[in-house]
Homo-oligomer: A and B are copies of this chain.
């Protein structure tokens, strides 16, 4: 009997600048997916929890929060782009478009923008990609839900294989946040008790850092969550692979899929920053600065970096922020202002984030 060892996903030498992958699968948003991922991260925005509220704001029903949109769309690209990756290096220009609802089906494609070898590690290199997620909207065709670039460190299948290095330009992608119009006839005021009283646009001041109060301990649940998202990267779910050669892998153990701390930080910040947002507009850049493992507790902070008007929407403002995630690690003799004795604080995530926030003047 002949044996074939199947490989899934691509390796560094497979990528060619300019090539476009139309990803397999696609994903229909069910109420199961919605519930699991909206709430595991303590998301507080009532648009994602309370259908009465969401409809009163002009949405079709419960709105997928930005973290869920990101998880679903991003995960569709994993098999082709990062199943054989070591780490995700950077998110770039992640822009939100049409709202995503239960029942919608997402399909995604990715263009290879760049391929680069690694000077220090001959079995690794960096791939730079641009991905766009669309949903079907019945007979009306399709709508862009999310577009983004990312850089990812990918293994070579064969250390001696030749690469296809180079760079091409990203495509212009028409993707802008779609929001229901403000409607004076609606009784927004009667819903005001359902969101935070102190997270309206007027409440924020640039040069403020908000330490969000909650922490959330991650468990081995991450393996299940990652599978449910169709994220097939083996560094998140294949303990035997790690056990054979721990030194080859970040931390020598299963690393939690970066989308998880990404969404946890969004969720932990939401009572203070996202509760009165109608949508996230764009994440100009973001990165994971340390790995997250089962047992770690995630905390988040938000720096307010700027405020501006939202063009054409006097009821909204644009809040410019930096979302920061951190965890604490045991460190004997450690002494610092931002951790208790015997612990050190480790930054795990940072994200530039622009949010469309309601003005108190129009909604209360």
Contact = CB atoms under 8 A, between A and B. Distances in A.
Interface stretch (A114-122, A167-175, A214-222, A356-364): A214-222
B194 A8 contact: no
Interface stretch (A232-240, A285-293, A311-319): A232-240
A230 B49 contact: yes
B221 A24 contact: no
Interface in A191-247: 193-196, 205, 207-217, 219-221, 223-224, 227-230, 232, 234, 237-241, 244
B196 A24 contact: yes
A328 interface: yes
Interface in A1-55: 1-8, 22, 24-28, 30-36, 39-42, 44, 46, 49-53
Given A223-B217, A272-B6, A297-B239, A49 B36 contact: no
A25 B30 CA distance: 21
Given A6-B212, A49-B27, A221-B223, A240 B297 contact: yes
B210 A52 contact: no
B105 A227 contact: no
B42 A5 contact: no
B42 A208 contact: no
Given A214-B8, A297-B240, A50 B26 contact: yes
B50 A25 contact: yes
Nearest to A62: B28
A336 interface: no
A107 interface: yes
Contacts of A271: 6, 8, 79
Contact of A240 (B39, B50, B136, B215): B215
A295 interface: yes
Contact of A30 (B24, B32, B229): B32
A26 B42 contact: no
A340 interface: yes
Contacts of A32: 30-36
A91 to B, nearest CB: 24
Contacts of A27: 49-50
Contacts of A272: 6
Contacts of A223: 216-217, 219, 221
A93 interface: no
Contacts of A5: 211, 213
A176 interface: no
Contacts of A103: 51
Contacts of A208: 1-4
Nearest to A53: B26
A271 to B, nearest CB: 6
Nearest to A191: B26
Contacts of A112: none
Q: Which 4 A-B pairs have the closest CB atoms?
A: A32-B35, A26-B50, A215-B238, A240-B297
Interface of A: 1-8, 22, 24-28, 30-36, 39-42, 44, 46, 49-53, 62, 79, 102-103, 105, 107, 136, 193-196, 205, 207-217, 219-221, 223-224, 227-230, 232, 234, 237-241, 244, 254, 271-272, 275, 295, 297, 299, 303, 327-328, 340, 343
